[in-house]
A and B are shown apart, each in its own frame.
Chain A
Amino acid sequence: MFEAEVNPEDITSAEFVVAIPSYNEADSIAFPVQQADRGIESFFGNRKSVIINCDNNSDDGTKEIFLGIRTNTPKIYISTEPGMKGKGRNFKNLFQKIVDLEAKAVVVVDADLKSITPKWIKHLGEPLFQDFGYVAPLYVRHKYDGTITNSIAYPLTRSLYGRRVRQPIGGDFGFRGELAQVYLESDTWSEAVANFGIDIWMTTLAMNENVPICQAFMGRPKIHRAKDPGSDLGPMFRQVVGTIFEMMIKFCPFWSQVKWSKPTSIFGFGLGETEMPPPVKVNKETLFQKFQHGFKSCGHILENVLQKETFNKLREVKKMDADRFDFPTNLWINVLIDFAVGYRDKVWKEDELLDSLIPIYLGKTLSFVKKTERMSIRESEEFIEEECVQFEVSKSLLVQVWNKGA
């Protein structure tokens, strides 16, 4: 029988909430729940707390596992209606619950986390009781884990909104309870946001609200179900990138005034030696093939979306063989600018336009892999930082092209 809410201890108010969104996570949710419980007990013992599982009415027993875990912190299970899927929909339920509970601070952690410790709860939660309104995670990730973040989400949000938030779609983060109302009232909700666009949407709204943001250093790498960047990423890519473009349209008056970027505070040291992440394997041949085939099959869309010069340069890149393959950062920036403008101007059907960017992104990823394969994680981070500076230098071009087409 469907239950929209199960609240065994009849909790009606809470100061501190740890939320775990899920869909079919029966085999993994127990661990983050246990770690969250320990974190709450150790570091927020004096605050009235609750652990909330916001679920998509999973049919694998996630609810039963969650409610069955023995914890000292009370638990609430909430779910979307049957058939209503999407991470963002889970969050919408969560926002309403936070408002109802009048919670002051909320920490969200992924249900498939294998590396979470109680200190993650401390570091994501404590700044919210100090001067900060939004806490993004900062973990050491393998250089090939999170390639959408590295190539698109981080450099674009940084250059657009002027805040250096290294993991804007990290999945584990904290926010002040009062932001829940802001999120509920926002007129930027969309189908993409109701799905995987939710993380970038929340971070971007926080930036636009000028909420003080800090990054919490987690000490341990994020170990979860990492994906090969060459594997099927269609829906997630569309939802994340589509949300970034939608927010660009909505918040143009803000971002067009932003120059350069500011670093954010870092919270959470003294975690001992930083643990290195496990390697992520990348199949360069697959990336190359997908770039080649995608360029061919999407050529008619690319020709419509990209400016002639950009399209011609991309065609030159396509002619390179795998050994010499190189995708210059400036070309990638120009591609993203043209796609953002093309998305706004609806030059092509939205989903097909976003899908046609995927093979180009895979080409850029291949280039990144080739350039950084002999680099340490720190060196590859410096490489990404240098790319971000190029994005910031190109900001004036973006503003010019954006305004010209408007």
Chain B
Amino acid sequence: MDWQGQKLCEQLMMIMLIGFSIVGFIAGYSTGSYQMMLFVYATGVVISSLISVPNWGFYNRHPLKWLDPIEFEKNPKPEILVSKKKITKSNRK
């Protein structure tokens, strides 16, 4: 998931959850049933989790463009010189 996708995902999640909660509250209050409110909201939570939790393709439309590896090729990493030390008895103590 790229940066744009993360923003979109978070906004979608918030809008959907708040929307479902408002719809659920109105539905429950108008039908006089608490169960109705909880049912509508639980359905909303399931739907929004299906939409916003998995890494769907439309969250990956803006892939990050990294720099070309030219700079790296121009300046290759220096080789690391490994100095071997022998462990002697006097070092141990």
A and B associate: no
- What is the interface of chain B, defined by CB distance below 8 A to chain A? none
